[in-house]
Structure 1
């Protein structure tokens, strides 16, 4: 026997090149961006209006019911321009925040027309508030930014409608902006309620006891028109929203909102009463901020004796007292001309005399000959009986007679008196106008603070969070207005320039402190690791779990395992953490430990499909194939109703069938494998990528020598994904086996052009060349494969075999030595290295390699035979040397 003749070959099989994703990375990628199929150009645009924010159909029981098509559309545009590059996404968020801040400054300036300093202070505080960091720095916070942008545009448009009642385009624009706001994020629809509040309490200054008059009094026609449009739009939008979500409320995990899962009415009530107070505290003192407030970040209030109830009581008592004070101001006389372009008079328990400028101002001459501006062509007044000096025409027609101007006589602005008469007396006092303006601004501030927050209070339906800082983005506008108004009042009451300067310095210090906090919080959001570390004091189980994912992705496995166990020490029933810990242990080859982790994950979340899938994979690795098959079958039958990510769940179920079929194929049961693959094809959802499944189907038919059927499935795989490398390689191998080598080589070369740096392409192409006795070419191809994958044992070993067959024995020896270093306990490597050294005349070294091979496999007859030949040769050389 010639030395080296028995060198073993270990070329890869076709199944080993089909790289379907079997393990899910422990990192929680953003479902809204990275795994959302609705961002892809291949997805029809119509899907944006039938799927939720995460790309799940709204009618699916597992849908989150977050319907935000305009926000997803903006993500899709970002994807078209820059793919998944994060920079442009964040840039858009920053630009949106700048636009919102500018619009809020306009609103504040309009509401505080006589207090530009307060308006500027409110806008500055809004722009710099730390609680906005999540909405701006977090990409998914764009929903809040966009909703607020349309919210402000809708409110400003309605203000224009209140000024020019005959220009209904402003009313329709307001409704359109409200619709856009709701389609960007759900609570944007509350702008309709804020517009109604503005019209009723600021423009008309109606007291609640006067609301019935709006229905019957003809003079309230303009108000009725606005309110009916707002009410109709609200009903239509909410009905549409409810219809699109399948007339079903979303299902949330108990960990998302623990209070909603409590059986105790007292616990639910006390906790839900505390949460708005806590949110207000975050606006007031944003010292503690977190990326996640779920689980026990805020412990439930289970008893009336909980001291936090005192804070809740103080919050609500203060709010009631504040609202009572505002209600009283609606009954007091007020002259207000400015922001809405009209005058309002509350006449001691009677109706308001309200004048509305329907068009533009007109210049008229008074009796004294002076020229004054009065409001336009039509004037409607709410009161019919006034003195002749201030007579209002009830039919709304202004004859350009000085006596027909409500609130104006002889060119002077009049005010109502307590007894219901209109007094002569020149211009309103500056204080009266300022007080009226202040009350209106306070009303709007309260409305902006409270109304947009109502959907998050769990009052009408449960929400999927405890506290979410980004939800405070719109309500914070009201908070900033209140702070600015409070600062203004304190400033005016200070006597002396020094005191005012000190107060101004304190307020400026608050703005600076808020800005510094915002900068520091942005640093937390700059990197995921920083973000999760910052959340440890507030929500340790969630923060440690996410931190562990980041550390694991960075290769810091020991630290990651410590973080996983730390998270479980706080909350032992976190299925995701058990699952991710199992992945880490599996990657390290600690299969028994990973089995325990996967089983715990399944125990705490029985329908966690990925845990079942990986459990089956580990059982297969351990040779427990019957158990693995049982787990795969159970995984494929899991129910997906009510799950947060049904698409991933359904995909995992098909992957379970894929691996079950592969398990049968590895045992040579190709017919059983085909039956399972066909079941997977029948059940696979629309979003499933089938190319790997089709490819494995083709390979099973290939093994059964049903070449025509195999070719059909390979072509199906290539149609599903034209650049699918495994299908190129397996199809080429089929053609080669089928006696069509020229076609086969074309597919190998095509795969090489698609993936020039894929070592598996060169490995299989090299095998093809060897099978066709083109050993010199094969050697060069394998050298390239080894260059691309120097740590891949099979490639290095096969490169050595090919170099030997090409007659490049020195190079072959070098690669066998590399193979021995990669797998020192692999007997074949030592045997082949010994044979190559034997051929190259390095007999002593060859003997050592043979002996190592026999140590690993003592009874191997081939190695014993080669060693015997080697020693015979050594003995012959010794005899020759003695002679």
Structure 2
């Protein structure tokens, strides 16, 4: 890596260093945190069968994005560091650095030689600092674009290597024919042989003939024959040394490199496509480069183009086997516009808008959906003028460059040379530099003869002019002009290739070929921005060549770099966490930003701010079902049941397939005492069809939850048979990803209440087999076994196992205490109850249970302490005051006991138990 590439890589790393401590944000959660393909329990083969988000490609709700190589890198990240975000961000930053270095190398091949020093440096600088890259680098999901870009550039560079090896063989073949095939020697005889041996061309032609004929090129590349009998006779008179086979090896080695580079280029294009679909367009860019950088074509070039085109067609056909998904209106509202004119004008304008973001990346957003970009509904919209101007300018530039190339190629065409001119060309060729391999003995580079050190150390004193380990490299000036290869020298070639890098990778995202699930996505511009950087690098380097503009160029470039750098660093901060990201998008896409911000604030416990954000989102866009649902969850948590029910109903109205809304609506109706309505809602939610939904796993889980809620409602009502039927239906419809142990455990509990102990035990065992550390199953199984006197010891073992599995779970100690109390082991039971109450100090029922256990164990003072705790938790509960008065009565604190009894009677006048206890207390006191 040269110093320019290294400097650009270092700059790129420093700019994105502040993303290493960022969290998972936005799409990262679904692609990583909830993606089952990252987990070790998922077979590796699932990566080839699922889409980018972990949904099977055969599922109707699949996103259709097939990027197994990108998901593979996520899985490797998980194996190395779990769900620690910094490792994922580090890989993204390193990929951006590598892409910057590769683009600098690409720029050296594309930009004219006169700008080869300044141009690549500018390209690398702009690509490293461009703010449009922040979403791709700072967001972990952007790795698809980063990986595709790297494979894209590697494929392009490998194809350039293929061209070099291919055309070096082609040029050598053509030169041999030109130098030897056209120089006919009309006279045979010894005099002519002597004259030729004495000529200064002899050594060049003999070595050239050996290397051409030894490689069997007439069979592989077309017939290459030296027609001069003089040359053939001279070669035959020379003794063939054993090292002559080394020449053939060198030629075949170059042929192997030629085809190897072509195969590797196609494989890298495949890797780019498996990272992101746009990667396959590199094959088109490579073909364009091949034809633009050649003054005239030949059959080897056409053969490469045909092979590359065939590979592109095959890859596209394979990719098109994946079904195209259906996206929601919010994702791409223009695609659902009813009028063709609206769709056409808007989609024509969107590439112009994207190009504007590349030129002026000031206003950036994590999402450009909904109405962030108003649709063009009329021909009178002024944005149509911008579209016309953009495409007209693009067409004129392309036409000018193509015309200039055509004129240059036409003017460079020359007539075939005669014998005299060919002879002069041969004289020039006699000064050719020698090249091919190192000596097979000393492995040192050779000139026309063995090196001096080789001759000395190996007694190789031969200075024969027919040394077989010397090959000829013919300089380009010795080639016929109509067969000469060249690197791109003109600005026209560089401009056309820059436009190709800009347009071809972006073409699949234009909505012109097929609809995509977004309007504008900044990370999609990562690869097309390379084309813009190439064009800017060409323009700045051209200005640099004019000395009077150099000062302006330096000032302008420094200002542009500083602006890009500052914007990138500041934009990186927006991607540190979700709150900052969503707040940054409020000016551009307020409904989406406020809706997502409300969810983040709600999870942080900032309920008032979250409610305000949800309501603001609905002011901008009232039909967002997700926001209505999230607002309902928040209101239900605040016990505002009526408002929560209304929010859930609105969510269902705007999206009837939102199964979670049915589940929560049913829960809210149960809490409000509207059980009959809850039954209807939960039954409806359990029967929803999930065809075509984006998140099928969440939908199926919600359907099961609806059945469990329904079963729980029936169970609380004592309708155990209906509860059992609901639980059986849930068990029958369990999706693969849903944890079955909870369903099996509920089935066991219901069967146990129905006295069907044998079947209940089977379900408990099934729950434990599904998850051996499932604590609720340990407890319920222990309670079932405790009903059988002969299995009491076994039951206690299950309680102890639950205690070991969940030493901080209050319910474990509570149920274990119940078991011990039922066995009249009151002292041990009191210890368990006390531990449960300590683990959950705000639980009123546990405090009462602990106090009761203390009283039964004879620990009266401890019982008093826990009764006082219960009264402090529910001061308006008459039962608590009665219990406190009773324990105070037993402890001899009569005055306090009387006060507690009176408070209980105030809260519940006429309570017989309290009146009886108070009467006994008065008897004792008198």
Output the TM-score relative to the length of structure 2. Answer: 0.80
Separation in structure 1 between the aligned mates of residue 285 and residue 807 of structure 2, nearest angstrom: 60
Match of 1:22 in 2: none
Question: What is the aligned partner in structure 2 of residue 561 from structure 1?
Answer: 611
Contact 1:694–1:716 under 8 Å retained in 2: yes
Secondary structure, counterpart of 2:504 in structure 1: helix
Distance (Å, rounded) in 2 between the aligned partners of 1:677 and 1:106: 64
| 1:72-96 deviations in Å (ceiling 9; x for gaps) | 1111112222222212111111111
Q: What SS class does the counterpart of residue 53 from structure 2 fall into?
A: coil
Where 1:75 maps in the other structure, the secondary structure is: helix
Match of 2:521 in 1: 468
Q: Is the 8 A contact 1:56 1:63 kept in 2?
A: yes
Q: Quote the offset at 1:767 in angstroms.
A: 1.9
1:229 counterpart (307, 328, 332): 307
Q: Distance in 2 between matches of 1:805 and 1:824?
A: 24
Residue in structure 1 matched with residue 535 of structure 2 by the alignment = 482
Q: Quick one: which of 830, 844, 851 aligns to 1:793?
A: 844
Flag the 1:62–1:158 CA change in 2: closer, same or farther, 3 A. Answer: same
Separation in structure 2 between the aligned mates of residue 630 and residue 651 of structure 1, nearest angstrom: 19
State the partner residue of 1:379: none
1:348 is aligned to 2:411 = yes
Q: Which residue of 1 aligns with 2:284?
A: 193
CA contact (8 A) 2:488 2:494 kept: no
1:62 Cα offset (Å): 1.2
Poorly superposed stretches of 4+, deviation over 4 Å: 26-29, 349-353, 364-369, 373-376, 404-407, 413-416
Question: What is aligned with 1:324?
Answer: 399
Counterparts of 1:34-113 in structure 2 under 5 Å? 34-112=33-111, 113=113
Distance 1:822 1:775, change over 3 A: same
Matched residue, 2:788: 738
2-structure distance, mates of 1:459, 1:793 = 64
In 2 relative to 1, CA 297–315 (structure 1 residues): closer, same or farther, beyond 3 Å?
A: same
- Whole-angstrom distance in 2 between the partners of 1:273 and 1:73: 36
1:853 Cα shift? 2.3
Question: Where does residue 149 of structure 2 map in the other structure?
Answer: 148
Q: 2:818 aligned with 1:819, yes or no?
A: no
For 2:859 and 2:840, the matched residues in 1 are separated by 21
Q: Distance in 1 between matches of 2:471 and 2:264?
A: 34
Equivalence for 1:845: 896
For 2:610 and 2:631, locate their aligned partners in 1 and report how far apart those are by CA, in whole Å.
9
Conserved? CA contact 1:640–1:646, under 8 Å: yes
1:309-329 deviation digits (Å, cap 9, x = unpaired): 222222111111111112112
Q: How does 1:5-16 map to 2 (within 5 A)?
A: none
Whether the 8 Å CA contact 1:257–1:294 is kept in 2: the answer is yes
Match status 1:606 vs 2:669: no
**Residues 108/367 of structure 1: CA separation in 2 closer, same or farther (3 Å cut):** closer
What displacement does 1:623 show? 1.8
What is residue 19 of structure 1 aligned with on the other side?
Answer: none
Which residue of 2 is the match for residue 768 of structure 1?
A: 819
Aligned-residue offset at 1:139: 1.1
- Which of 634, 637, 660 is residue 587 of structure 1 equivalent to? 637
Residue 884 (structure 2) pairs with residue 833 (structure 1): yes
Distance apart, 1:716 and its partner CA: 0.8
Task: Answer yes or no: is the 8 Å Cα contact 2:867–2:880 preserved in 1.
Answer: yes
Q: Deviations along 1:824-844, whole A, 9 cap, x unmatched?
A: 223322221121112112222
What is residue 175 of structure 1 aligned with on the other side? 266
Flag the structure with higher helix content.
2
Q: CA deviation at 1:29?
A: 7.4
**Shift, 1:698, TM fit:** 0.5
How far the C-alpha of 1:598 sits from its partner, in A, is 0.2
CA gap of 1:704–1:833, structure 2 versus 1, over 3 A, is same
- Map 1:710-789 → 2, pairs under 5 A: 710-739=760-789, 740-789=791-840
> Distance between the aligned counterparts of 1:674 and 1:624, measured in 2?
22
Contact 1:532/1:546 (<8 A) preserved: yes
User: CA distance change for structure 1 residues 658 and 349 in 2, over 3 Å: closer, same or farther?
Assistant: farther
Report matched runs for 1:678-717 at 5 Å: 678-717=728-767
1:309 aligns to 2:384 (yes or no)? yes
What secondary structure sits across from 1:657 in the alignment?
helix
Q: 1:57 to 1:524 in 2, by over 3 A?
A: same
Q: Is the 8 A contact 2:110 2:488 kept in 1?
A: no
Residue 27 to residue 520, structure 1, CA distance change in 2 (3 Å): closer
CA contact (8 A) 1:39 1:76 kept: yes
Matched, 1:854 2:853: no
Instruction: Identify unmatched segments of 5+ residues in structure 2.
Output: 1-24, 167-254, 417-424, 438-469
More displaced 10-residue stretch of structure 1: 273-282 or 183-192:
183-192
Distance 1:737 1:586 in 2: 39
**Which blocks of at least 5 consecutive residues in structure 1 are unaligned?**
1-25, 207-218, 334-345, 354-363, 377-399, 423-427, 877-883
Separation of aligned partners in 2, 1:226 and 1:705: 78
1:342-741 equivalences in 2 (<5 Å): 346-348=409-411, 366=427, 370-372=431-433, 408-409=477-478, 436-495=489-548, 499-739=549-789, 740-741=791-792
CA distance in 2, matches of 1:200, 1:282: 31
> CA deviation digits over 1:685-743, x for unaligned, max 9?
22221111011000001101111111111111111112111111111111112232221
Distance 1:824 1:628 in 2: 32
Following TM superposition, by how much is the alpha carbon of 1:415 offset from its aligned partner in structure 2, in angstroms? 5.6
> Structure 1 residues 366, 750: closer, same or farther in 2, change over 3 A?
farther
**Secondary structure, in 3 states, of the residue corresponding to 2:433?**
strand
Q: CA 1:815–1:330 in structure 2 vs 1: closer, same or farther (change >3 Å)?
A: same
- The residue that corresponds to 1:341 in the other structure is none
* Contact 2:707–2:726, Cα closer than 8 Å, also in 1: yes
Distance 1:205 1:757 in 2: 79
Q: Distance in 2 between matches of 1:401 and 1:598?
A: 82
The separation in 2 between residues aligned to 1:303 and 1:256, in whole angstroms, is: 22
Distance in 2 between the 1:352 and 1:449 partners? 38
Rounded Cα–Cα distance in structure 1 between residues aligned with 2:715 and 2:147: 52
Within 1, Cα distance between the matches of 2:693 and 2:716? 33
Q: Equivalents in 1 of 2:878, 2:320: separation in Å?
A: 68
Q: 1:95 to 1:738 in 2, by over 3 A?
A: farther
> Counterpart of 1:7?
none
Q: Structure 1's 224 and 83: CA in aligned 2 closer, same or farther, altered over 3 A?
A: same
Residues 710, 352 of structure 1: alpha-carbon distance in 2 compared, 3 angstrom cutoff: farther
How many residue pairs get matched?
A: 769
Kindly tell me: are residues 401 and 790 of structure 1, through their superposed partners in 2, closer, same or farther at Cα, counting changes over 3 Å? closer
The structure having more radius of gyration, on CA atoms, is 2
Question: How well do the aligned residues superpose, as a CA RMSD in angstroms?
Answer: 2.5
Give the whole-Å Cα distance in 2 for the aligned partners of 1:225 and 1:790.
80
User: 1:792: how far off?
Assistant: 2.2
- Going from structure 1 to structure 2, the CA distance change for 1:786 and 1:437 (only over 3 Å counts) comes to farther
Contact in 1 for aligned 2:881/2:903 (Cα 8 Å): yes
- Between 1:562-571 and 1:156-165, the stretch displaced more is 156-165
Quick check: 1:29–1:35 contact (8 Å CA) kept in 2? no
TM-score using structure 1 length: 0.83
Q: Give distance in 1, aligned partners of 2:770 and 2:358.
A: 52
Can you list the C-alpha shifts for 1:291-341, whole angstroms capped at 9, x where unaligned? Answer: 1111001111111211222222221111111111121122133xxxxxxxx
- Counterpart CA distance in 1 for 2:317 and 2:797 is 59
Identify if the C-alpha distance between structure 1 residues 607 and 836 changes in structure 2 by more than 3 Å, giving closer, same or farther: same
